[in-house]
Copies of this chain bind each other. A is one copy, B any other.
Amino acid sequence: MAVQLISPRSEDLHVVAGVRIGVAEAGIRKAGRKDLSVFLLDEGTNVAGVFTQNRFCAAPVQVCREHLAGGRNIRALVINTGNANAGTGADGLARARSVCATLARQLGVEPTQILPFSTGVIMEPLPVERIEAALPAALADVDPSHWLRAAEGIMTTDTLPKAYSRQIVVDGAMVTITGISKGAGMIRPNMATMLGFLATDACIAPTVLQAWAAELAEGSFNRITIDGDTSTNDSFVLMASNQAGNVEVTDADAPSAKALKQVLLDVARQLAQAIVRDGEGATKFITIHVGGGRTTAECRQVAYAIAHSPLVKTAFFASDPNLGRILAAVGYAGILDLDQTRIELFLDDVHVATSGGRHPAYREEAGQRVMRQSEITVRVELGRGQALDTVWTCDLSHDYVSINADYRS
């Protein structure tokens, strides 16, 4: 039951020159599912990655970090669902490396030129034979137009595939950006989301690309939360195939570079917000703006306290304007010298609380009207400074409990 999210149409997803995608059924967890995807990247593609800050990071995340640090051009991505290859120790690392080696052999490249990604159940051995056996089928399937197939191929508890595409003219050259993402639970990305892949044919210098990967993640995947659980496998990859014919972006502050980055950010945000809209059991899409803080970090801290409060989330689910719960979350967010008499609270255009108490003109019917909507904006003003930040989240419903109580069955 995704919130205001529709399945993308394949014809709306622009091909990115230099990027081909193939999908296959490896039978990793269940039969009959396209659970294996491969991205092939033309020579000359630059790749930057941002990965989970979870200290229990998965084997493929460790291998990705190694391979990106190794300095060889990345030529392929291999992604499986059904098994996260996390909490699997040294054996898990060996299995992730084995998949890279097998694919590298078939492509005639080095294993360090492959990035592996896994998502699914934690602490179970990766069925590496089944993955390796299905690689030829995935390679036989490759085509530049297969973005939607890949968006479907990386789904786990997602109810809809997530993909988005835009074009922009940069220095007279038409640049294409297309991306996919997945994730619906264990979502509180810290440096990246479950899985997000964004490719452009723009020509972007590697140093700019890496800096942008981090900035894009910060402004999109790192501003969403469903259940506060930072995954072991969060990965966000930005690929630039350098085939659009634009002048290489080397100065991130140039006007054309900024315009390009804004469109990249738009695509990343659409993909990140799609994850929230498809959050496990989600019935509401909530935007939380916190302003008037001394620092962006403290605004974010307050926004996440609200976004993670089970009481706030269940009130949204119930369309119940029990908005004191939001004030309580502001109060325990960890700002030690917060002055409650300066707090203002708005729900969309309704001024709910002023100077730390109920606004005299606030009427429950007005709060009720907003709470019934499927998209709601909460705005908190802290009255301490000029900083602000935004986080996107969803409500907590019966279906969240059902989905996660039954995940493995």
| A interface residues (Cβ-Cβ under 8 A, vs B) | 53-57, 84, 86-92, 121-125, 185-186, 188, 190, 227-232, 308-311, 314-315, 317-318, 320, 322-325, 327-333, 335-336, 338, 340-341, 343, 353, 355-358, 396-398, 400-402, 404-409
- Residues on B with beta carbons closer than 8 Å to the beta carbon of A358: 87-89, 123-125
A–B Cβ pairs within 8 angstroms, 27 of them: A55-B331, A55-B335, A56-B330, A56-B338, A56-B343, A56-B356, A87-B327, A87-B356, A88-B358, A90-B355, A121-B324, A122-B324, A122-B325, A122-B327, A123-B324, A123-B353, A124-B324, A124-B358, A186-B328, A190-B332, A229-B309, A232-B328, A317-B401, A317-B405, A318-B406, A322-B408, A398-B401
A88 to B310, CA, bound (A): 22
A55 pairs with B311, CB closer than 8 A: no
Partner of A327, one of B56, B407, B408: B56
- Residues on B with beta carbons closer than 8 Å to the beta carbon of A329: 229
B314 pairs with A186, CB closer than 8 A: no
B314 pairs with A401, CB closer than 8 A: yes
B55 pairs with A336, CB closer than 8 A: yes
User: Are A310 and B402 CB-contacts (below 8 A) given A55-B340, A327-B232, A336-B55?
Assistant: no
- Residues on B with beta carbons closer than 8 Å to the beta carbon of A397: 401
Beyond A55-B333, A315-B405, 7 additional contacts (C-beta under 8 Å) are A54-B328, A55-B336, A89-B358, A229-B309, A229-B328, A230-B328, A318-B406
- Residues on B with beta carbons closer than 8 Å to the beta carbon of A315: 404-405
- Residues on B with beta carbons closer than 8 Å to the beta carbon of A229: 309-311, 325, 328-329, 332
A357 pairs with B92, CB closer than 8 A: yes
- Look across to chain B and name the residue whose beta carbon is closest to the beta carbon of A402: B398
Nearest 5 pairs of A and B residues by beta carbon? A122-B324, A89-B357, A56-B331, A318-B405, A123-B324
- Look across to chain B and name the residue whose beta carbon is closest to the beta carbon of A333: B55
- Look across to chain B and name the residue whose beta carbon is closest to the beta carbon of A308: B228
- Residues on B with beta carbons closer than 8 Å to the beta carbon of A84: 324
- Look across to chain B and name the residue whose beta carbon is closest to the beta carbon of A328: B232
A264 to B246, CA, bound (A): 74
A353 pairs with B87, CB closer than 8 A: yes
- Residues on B with beta carbons closer than 8 Å to the beta carbon of A336: 55
A358 to B88, CA, bound (A): 6
A228 pairs with B404, CB closer than 8 A: no
- Residues on B with beta carbons closer than 8 Å to the beta carbon of A54: 328, 331-332
Smallest CB–CB gap between A269 and chain B, Å?
A: 23
- Residues on B with beta carbons closer than 8 Å to the beta carbon of A338: 55-56
Smallest CB–CB gap between A264 and chain B, Å?
A: 27
Smallest CB–CB gap between A317 and chain B, Å?
A: 5
B310 pairs with A55, CB closer than 8 A: no
User: Are A185 and B405 CB-contacts (below 8 A) given A54-B332, A87-B327, A324-B123?
Assistant: no
B320 pairs with A86, CB closer than 8 A: no
A358 to B315, CA, bound (A): 38
A53 pairs with B405, CB closer than 8 A: no
A124 to B322, CA, bound (A): 10
- Residues on B with beta carbons closer than 8 Å to the beta carbon of A228: 308-310
A317 to B405, CA, bound (A): 7
User: Are A332 and B408 CB-contacts (below 8 A) given A91-B357, A327-B123?
Assistant: no
A56 to B341, CA, bound (A): 9
A53 to B338, CA, bound (A): 11
A197 to B228, CA, bound (A): 33
- Residues on B with beta carbons closer than 8 Å to the beta carbon of A325: 122, 186, 229
A53 to B336, CA, bound (A): 9
A232 pairs with B56, CB closer than 8 A: no
A330 to B123, CA, bound (A): 14
B353 pairs with A314, CB closer than 8 A: no
